[in-house]
Amino acid sequence: TISSTAEKVVYLVVFHLSFVMFVWSYWKTIFTSPASPSNEFCLSKADKEQYEKEERPESQQEILRRAAKDLPIYTTTASRAIRYCDRCQLIKPDRCHHCSACDICVLKMDHHCPWVNNCVGFSNYKFFLLFLMYSLLYCLFVAATVLQYFIKFWTNELPDTHAKFHVLFLFFVAAMFFISILSLFSYHCWLVGKNRSTIETFRAPTFRNGPDKNGFSLGCSKNLREVFGDEKKYWLLPIFTSLGDGCNFPTRLVIMDPEQLTVSSQNEPAKSSGANQPFPTRPLSESQNRLLASDSQWVESGPEEENVKSGAKKHIIVSLES
């Protein structure tokens, strides 16, 4: 009949579409190389030699502070030291961690996933989320189409053939994977809404005013856009559309730093910060500014507003409405 033929066509289209998207996102998750910090976070040859010669941690930290004064870094270790990777010999950007399995520093590292044999981080986190979503839909689709035969099996309405055991096995496998993937996908959706990584959930990043798990949260909508991008038509495609460069992230906690609340009106670059301010304010990139465009307020001090309009160089702190 026409209706049965149409149902078969819809079934085949949905089946093949879900399978293609599942394979595509899985492929991108596996073969997208983890993003590493740029060369600006590496120590110069002179600083590296001096760092290796120094034996006192205080002297080594002074070298790192001098090298990091121009970098967009706002987090430290729990002991308030600059985060440095001795293995890769570079200053770690915010949210960057060293993966012992890949033996590299990974930008916005979430975790090392053995199921894809790759690190999940800034470069492929969107692909990983889509992989979970399409595998979840694929399992749901398989379980739903086999359900009627599964019911017939228990009501003894299914013909007595060897295929009925295949139906039973297929339903249980699809249902089992659906339940397990659903929990993992729900957890990562929660992480996206909070703008956290798995590592940051267990070990909160440390800012100047202390550890805070929500330090990078900009609100659910902006957090979502940071991962999936501005163009909604590309959200469901395994195409890289995440905002930013992976090295510099907007943070609402910068405005709470008493040293950074002072707006400098002097005509000098940000790199002239003193020793007491190793992490100077740095303008956000264009893509990150788009995240803050709608709700941003410029924190300034009275008469200095005219200096901004006249093009004077100054530090600008972005505050977000909670």
Active site residues: 113
CA nearest to 111, candidates 187, 17, 43: 187
**Strands (DSSP E) found in 73-217:** 84-85, 90-91, 97-99, 104-106, 111-113, 118-120, 206-207, 210-211
Q: How far apart are CA 12 and CA 135, in angstroms?
A: 17
Pairing relationship of beta strands 104-106 and 118-120 according to DSSP bridges? unpaired
Residues 6+ apart with CB under 8 A from 298: 308, 316, 317, 318
Q: How far apart are CA 137 and CA 143, in angstroms?
A: 10
Find tokens 């609402």 and name the residue: 252
With residue 154 as reference, give the H or E element that holds it: helix 125-154
Whether residue 259 contacts residue 277, with contact meaning beta carbons closer than 8 Å, is answered with yes
Whether residue 165 contacts residue 281, with contact meaning beta carbons closer than 8 Å, is answered with no
CA nearest to 133, candidates 181, 197, 192: 181
Q: How far apart are CA 58 and CA 72, in angstroms?
A: 22
Residues 6+ apart with CB under 8 A from 120: 29, 109, 110, 111, 112, 113, 128
Q: How far apart are CA 31 and CA 26, in angstroms?
A: 9
